[in-house]
Amino acid sequence: MDSDLLGGRLAGRPSEDVQATFCAVLVDEWVAQGVRHAVIAPGSRSTPLALALTNRSEMHIEVFHDERSAAFAALGVGLAIQQPAILLCTSGTAAAHFYAAIIEADLSHVPMLVVTADRPPELKDVGAPQTIDQTKMYGDTVRWFHDPGVADVAASYSWRSLARQSIAYCLGVSPGPVHLNLPFREPLVGTAADLPSSSLSRHQMTGNLELSQANYESVASNLNTQHGLIIAGRGCGSASEISRLASSLNWPVLADSRSGCQGIPEAVSYFDSVLRCEEFISGNQPTVVLRLGESPSSKVLSQFVTKSRATQVHVSAFASTADADHRVSLHISSDPTIFCREVQKFVKPNSDSGFLVKWLSANRAAGTTIEKYFGDADSNLLAPRVARLVAQSLREENNLVVSSSMPVRDLEWFGGDCSRFNVFSNRGANGIDGVVATAIGVAVATRQKTAVLIGDIALLHDSSSLTDLNRRGVDLKIVVTDNDGGGIFHYLPQAKSVNAETFEMLFGTPHGTDILQLAKAHHLSTYDCQSASELKNALASPETCVIRVLTDRNNEVSTHQEVNDLIAVAINGI
């Protein structure tokens, strides 16, 4: 057996060679399982695995000076290609900086293989430097934790199984992060033994739950109504299958920017604006809402569905349900593509298209109003228009990474049809940290032009990710709507209930940082755009760059309200 051969080749060799071989076996098996990306935060204790990774030409290696940035870059890889990146750091507090990205990977079901180097047992609890308790340090946020101990020849038969199992947990029924904690003894540099060829063919297969015919018939009975809505978010499945189901039911599809469904004939892309028209929604209430994948960010949509008291059916590939209002009556764990294709066979076709026509007419009115409001004028480069121009600059297979807070909302509310490119946003935990690093991971994994729509506070949170960016060989456009603070808080009750001085200190949080000078310190090209034409030219530039657009957070609320008032007039006039 290959394990016996390996043990023989290691017999009598020093411990550093055993460690080096252990790491070489792990990497060899990871490569065999299809892993092609590794993100490394520099350090000493992780040397054996770092060398093993860089010794494989199949592995694309990215090095980040900051562990938090490294972790979000690995998250970006998983988001983009649904395959885990190896995320490696040294021992001690370095591992703690991975945690935020691991939380996001957990909640968003993004595969990620986290490997933390550790000190050997004899250095624990004796005051050795860079030594903390790393056992299960990420708790239940990881799908699996394992610490095999210091590499031992006697356990060499298990090394390939360990590597395979780690990937299997990353890509299982509920994809997500896995944590391997690997203790290494000094010396840390050794020579790996030649790896024997494996006598076994090793593969992993994962599958998605498909319901029985009786289940589909039961669900279909709930969908047989003229007044129903489909809400499509990230992970909703095939746009074409959703369109076929919606067409059969004559239901509108409220599709968010991450769904990939905004280009189908039944799509209502401007649903947030439509739902702010009280006269329209009062006469167009659903009796059933079919929710596919994750929930859009729109609070107005969530409130509308709750107030409608419609029967809610949620379909997701994962067991966890998106049910913040506790009103989902049926949660289905199934591949949404399979679900839509199969349940359509049992629904009763609805010949009355009136409900769908009303929603599509309202959507067109909203879109026309938004286009007219922001228009072709070169001036007045407001944040919603920035979102539209960024979206319009992207082509098929390009990527857009959108920060939480206002950017994701501006895109969802005003961006229009985003279905021709890929939209990513860390909406599992809705944090604003690691946005640039996530985008770097997406760009590295896909080798496609990638734009980032981000606010100034979020950029400052992740400014360390600008380090060495111009040498990563990616086409990345970082578009910063800079309003010198936290614009989203102006939409919250605090803006009216807290006195102006206190509000500005606690929520407005002006920072006074020159974003362009910050970018220039990292030797990045910069653009300061004050008009639509300048922004278009910057977005068309060939290099990775930082593009700043100055906006006024004090006027953004009134702008949104003015647009929505005009949309309501247009819809009511249909």
pLDDT at site 278: 94
CA–CA distance, 417 with 3 (Å, rounded to integer): 54
**What average pLDDT does the segment 410-433 reach?**
92
pLDDT at site 556: 83
408, 339: one domain:
no
Alpha helices in 33-98 (DSSP H): 47-54, 67-81
- The continuous run of DSSP H or E covering 60 comes out as strand 60-63
Residue 528's closest CA among 482, 487, 485?
A: 482
Amino acid at 473: G
354, 381: one domain:
no
290, 355: one domain:
yes
Asked which of 339, 362, 385 is the last residue of a domain, the reply is: 362
CA–CA distance, 271 with 359 (Å, rounded to integer): 9
Asked which of 141, 168, 183 is the last residue of a domain, the reply is: 183
CATH number for the domain that contains residue 54: 3.40.50.970
CA–CA distance, 83 with 62 (Å, rounded to integer): 16
Over the stretch 494-550, which tens digit does the pLDDT of each residue have? Answer: 888 888 888 888 888 889 999 999 999 999 999 999 999 999 999 999 999 999 999
137, 36: one domain:
yes
Residue 224's closest CA among 201, 249, 200?
A: 249
178, 271: one domain:
no
Alpha helices in 344-405 (DSSP H): 354-374, 383-392
CA–CA distance, 490 with 474 (Å, rounded to integer): 35
325, 409: one domain:
no
Backbone angles phi, psi at 163, to 5 degrees: -65, -45
pTM given for the model: 0.92
382, 528: one domain:
yes
Q: Residue 222: which pLDDT band, with cuts at 50, 70 and 90? A: confident
CA–CA distance, 3 with 203 (Å, rounded to integer): 18
**What average pLDDT does the segment 481-498 reach?**
85
Residue 284 lies in a domain: yes
Coil, helix or strand for 399?
Answer: strand
DSSP string, 155-198: GGGGHHHHHHHHHHHHTSSS--EEEEEEE-PSP----PPPPPPP
Residue 189 lies in a domain: no
Asked which of 183, 204, 228 is the last residue of a domain, the reply is: 183
pLDDT at site 19: 95
159, 267: one domain:
no
Q: Which residues neighbour 325 within 8 Å (Cβ) at sequence distance 6 or greater?
A: 302, 305, 306
**What average pLDDT does the segment 83-99 reach?**
97
pLDDT(475) > 80: yes
The residues with which 114 forms a beta bridge, in sequence order, are: 87, 179
Residue 196 lies in a domain: no
Over the stretch 183-198, which tens digit does the pLDDT of each residue have? Answer: 999 999 999 888 876 6
CATH number for the domain that contains residue 322: 3.40.50.1220
pLDDT at site 370: 94
Residue 21 lies in a domain: yes
Other beta carbons within 10 angstroms of residue 388's beta carbon come to: 19
The domain total for the chain is 3
pLDDT at site 384: 92
504, 542: one domain:
yes
pLDDT(47) > 90: yes
Over the stretch 441-463, which tens digit does the pLDDT of each residue have? Answer: 999 999 999 999 999 999 999 99
112, 21: one domain:
yes
pLDDT at site 60: 97
Other beta carbons within 10 angstroms of residue 554's beta carbon come to: 13
Domain extent at residue 392: 375-572
Which residue's structure tokens are 């770097």?
A: 440
Other beta carbons within 10 angstroms of residue 456's beta carbon come to: 23
pLDDT at site 184: 96
Coil, helix or strand for 553?
Answer: helix
Residue 208 lies in a domain: no
pLDDT at site 127: 83
Instruction: Please answer whether residues 145 and 138 qualify as being in contact, where contact means their C-beta atoms are separated by less than 8 angstroms.
Output: yes
Residue 202 lies in a domain: no
Residue 207 lies in a domain: no
pLDDT at site 1: 43
What does the CA dihedral 133, 136, 139, 141 come to, rounded to 10 degrees?
A: 120
DSSP single-letter state for residue 487: G
Coil, helix or strand for 534?
Answer: helix
DSSP string, 80-134: HHSSPPEEEE-SGGGGGGGHHHHHHHHHHT--EEEEEEE--GGGTTTT-TT----
CA–CA distance, 516 with 525 (Å, rounded to integer): 9
Q: Residue 209: which pLDDT band, with cuts at 50, 70 and 90? A: low
488, 465: one domain:
yes
Cα separation of the two ends of the chain: 76
416, 559: one domain:
yes
Residue 104 lies in a domain: yes
